[in-house]
C-alpha cells in the first residue's frame, strides 16, 4: 500500500468570500489533505467547519501570523510551516487550488 495521499486541496479564500471552502469540503475524500492558506486560514478559527473523517486538515502558520491571528485559537487544524507545505505537496499525487 502506498503512503501517498490522493489530493492536496488548497483553499485560499476566506469562508466569507465565496464558495471555495464549501466546494472543497464537498470534494474531499479519505486520504486527501485540506490546506488552508492565504485568506483561507480564517476557516481554521470557525466552529462550524466539518472536515470529513480520514482527511488531514492543515493550516499554513505563516499566513495565520501575517493576518495577526492567534494560533492558540485554531480549531481542529494542524499548523504547518512552509517546509510542511512542501512536504504535503510532495506526498500527494495531485494538487487543487480552490479560489
Q: For the chain, which domains are there?
A: 5-98 (3.40.1260.10)
Mean pLDDT over 42-53 rounds to: 96
Q: What is the pTM of this model?
A: 0.93
pLDDT value of residue 63: 98
**Do the beta carbons of residue 43 and residue 63 sit within 8 Å?**
no
Across 65-82, average pLDDT: 98
Helix, strand, coil share (%) of the chain residues, nearest 5:
35, 25, 40
- Is the pLDDT reported for residue 57 higher than 80? yes
The pLDDT value recorded for residue 1 is 40
Residue 4's pLDDT band (cuts 50, 70, 90): low
Amino acid at each position: 500500500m502506498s503512503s501517498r495521499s490522493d489530493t492536496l486541496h488548497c483553499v485560499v479564500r476566506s469562508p466569507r468570500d465565496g464558495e471555495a471552502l464549501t466546494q472543497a469540503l464537498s470534494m474531499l475524500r479519505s486520504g486527501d489533505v485540506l490546506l488552508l492558506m492565504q485568506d483561507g486560514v480564517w476557516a481554521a478559527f470557525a466552529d462550524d467547519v466539518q472536515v470529513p473523517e480520514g482527511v488531514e486538515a492543515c493550516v499554513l502558520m505563516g499566513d495565520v501570523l501575517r493576518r495577526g491571528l492567534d494560533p492558540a485559537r485554531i480549531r481542529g487544524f494542524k499548523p504547518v510551516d512552509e517546509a510542511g507545505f512542501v512536504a504535503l505537496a510532495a506526498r500527494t499525487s495531485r494538487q487543487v487550488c480552490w479560489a
